[in-house]
Amino acid sequence: MIRKRPTLRDVAQLAGVSKATAARVINGDNDIVRESTRLRVLEAVHQLKYERNAVAGSLRSERTFMVALSIPDITNPFWPEVARGVQDAVEQGGFTVVFMNNDWDAERESKHLRRMHQKQFDGLIINPTGTLNTDLLDLHIPIVVLASGEAFPDFDTVSSDSTQAVRLAMEHLIGLGHRRIGLIAGPERRRKSHTHRDTYIKVCSEHGLDIDAELMLRKSFSQQGGYDAMQEFFALEHPPSAVFAVNDIIALGALRAAQSAGVRVPDDVSIMGMDDIFAAATAYPPLTTIAKPKYDIGRTAAQFLLERIEDAPVDFMRHSLLPCTLEKRGSTAPPALA
């Protein structure tokens, strides 16, 4: 037989108080409740193992105490660390986080966002796949965007400093003596962002390196994307002596392609990525990468969101760029003919 869940009425009857008084104690409104009465209610709560009905509470307060985290790829080990930062922060505020994964599918992301119109969540943290600033304005809920502030001026944004990250990678490879460096960037999206490519070109120009379109490829954010890009580089008359991929998943695919082709890393070609996921350190050779502050990104975004939900006095949009660091490992070295 399934035991009936204890109700607020049960608590009130056991404590010998009205339902309204029991509700005041449980909700923390103790100003007009005697201490002896408060203790009786709390003892009844303990005896009955009563838990507040969040659904009923949300109907009264017009809050669900849930926030959504919309991400593009839960299989990428970058995102669980971000999610952990979000969860740790929102739980301290009494909220629960719900994860939404769209697999880089803009239509699927759009379906997720329609739930926001239905008031199922008190706020949203999103790394947009196809969503624009104007799309988010239509939702009319507190939102923090995990992206550049330039693309989303009407919202708080939190992101790693992509310009600094690419510059760190390029300066590392150039400092080793590489003059022909390949870039594997992500695919074009509705929300166009060319930060990786633009910074790559700028750094090459600053160091007097030729800007060669053959060395700038766009592929999916996957190992297969990195594998395919590396095959294209190997097919060139003058392949690059070093390759920088804009995430570690792509870089690991590039590393696999080099090993399959019998090309030694880093003796014949250097390969580096970005993110510093766990697999980067355990690959062979261990992957040189740009480490992003994944947990801090999630936690900062959640703190911003909670302040917006609670109507904290913040009358301007915050655009936080968190710094990255270079992790030197075994996949990069000076070019063989340097």
Q: How many domains does the chain have?
A: 3
Residues 190 and 41 in one domain: no
Round to whole Å and give the CA distance between 197 and 187: 11
Name the residue among 28, 30, 29, 33 with its Cα closest to residue 17. 33
Contact 191, 242 (CB under 8 A): no
Residues 120 and 216 in one domain: no
Residues 153 and 301 in one domain: yes
pLDDT of 58 reads: 47
Residues 153 and 302 in one domain: yes
Q: Which of 26-30, 246-250, 274-278, 286-290 has the lowest mean pLDDT?
A: 26-30
pLDDT of 315 reads: 77
Contact 151, 91 (CB under 8 A): no
pLDDT of 62 reads: 57
Domain presence at residue 223: yes
Domain presence at residue 71: yes
| DSSP, residue by residue, 250-318 | HHHHHHHHHHHTT--TTTT-EEEEEE--HHHHHSSSPPEEEEP-HHHHHHHHHHHHHHHHTT-S--S--
Residues 281 and 170 in one domain: yes
CATH number at residue 30: 1.10.260.40
Distance between first and last Cα of the chain? 78
Which long-range contacts (C-beta less than 8 Å, at least 24 apart) are formed by 38-43? 40/15, 40/16, 41/11, 41/12, 41/15, 41/17, 43/15
Residues 155 and 299 in one domain: yes
Residues 155 and 264 in one domain: no
What count of other Cβ atoms lies within 10 Å of the Cβ of residue 46?
A: 10
pLDDT of 118 reads: 67
Residues 278 and 288 in one domain: yes
Residues 289 and 300 in one domain: no
pLDDT of 59 reads: 40
Mean pLDDT of 300-307: 96
Q: Write out the H or E segment, with its range, that includes residue 183.
A: strand 181-185
pLDDT band at 60 (very low <50, low <70, confident <90, very high): very low
Tell whether the model's pLDDT for residue 150 goes beyond 90.
no
Tell whether the model's pLDDT for residue 183 goes beyond 80.
yes
Domain presence at residue 328: no
- Strand bridging mode 181-185 / 216-218: parallel
Q: Which residue has the tokens 């310009």?
A: 163
Q: Which of 1-10, 124-133, 277-286 has the lowest mean pLDDT?
A: 1-10
CATH number at residue 148: 3.40.50.2300
pLDDT band at 3 (very low <50, low <70, confident <90, very high): low
Domain presence at residue 43: yes
Mean pLDDT of 315-326: 93
Residues 121 and 207 in one domain: no
How much is the mean pLDDT over the chain?
90
Tell whether the model's pLDDT for residue 191 goes beyond 70.
no
Q: Is 205 exposed, middle or buried (0-12, 13-18, 19+ CB in 10 A)?
A: exposed
pLDDT of 273-293, one tens digit each? 999 999 999 999 999 999 999
Domain presence at residue 327: no
Mean pLDDT of 245-257: 97
How far, in whole angstroms, is CA 233 from its chain's centroid?
Answer: 30
Name the residue among 321, 172, 292, 293 with its Cα closest to residue 244. 172
Q: Would the pTM of this model clear 0.75, i.e. be above it? A: yes
pLDDT of 88-123, one tens digit each? 999 988 899 999 999 989 899 998 888 776 667 899
Round to whole Å and give the CA distance between 264 and 267: 5
| DSSP, residue by residue, 21-88 | HHHHHHTT--TTS-HHHHHHHHHHHHHHT----HHHHHHHHT---EEEEEES-TTSTHHHHHHHHHHH
Domain presence at residue 115: yes
pLDDT of 65 reads: 86
Residues 176 and 267 in one domain: yes
**Domain range for 236:** 162-293
Domain presence at residue 325: no
Q: Is 58 exposed, middle or buried (0-12, 13-18, 19+ CB in 10 A)?
A: middle
Tell whether the model's pLDDT for residue 210 goes beyond 60.
yes
Is the pLDDT higher at 314 or at 164? 164
Cα-based angle 96, 97, 98 (whole degrees, multiple of 5): 120
Residues 276 and 215 in one domain: yes
Domain presence at residue 333: no
pLDDT band at 189 (very low <50, low <70, confident <90, very high): low
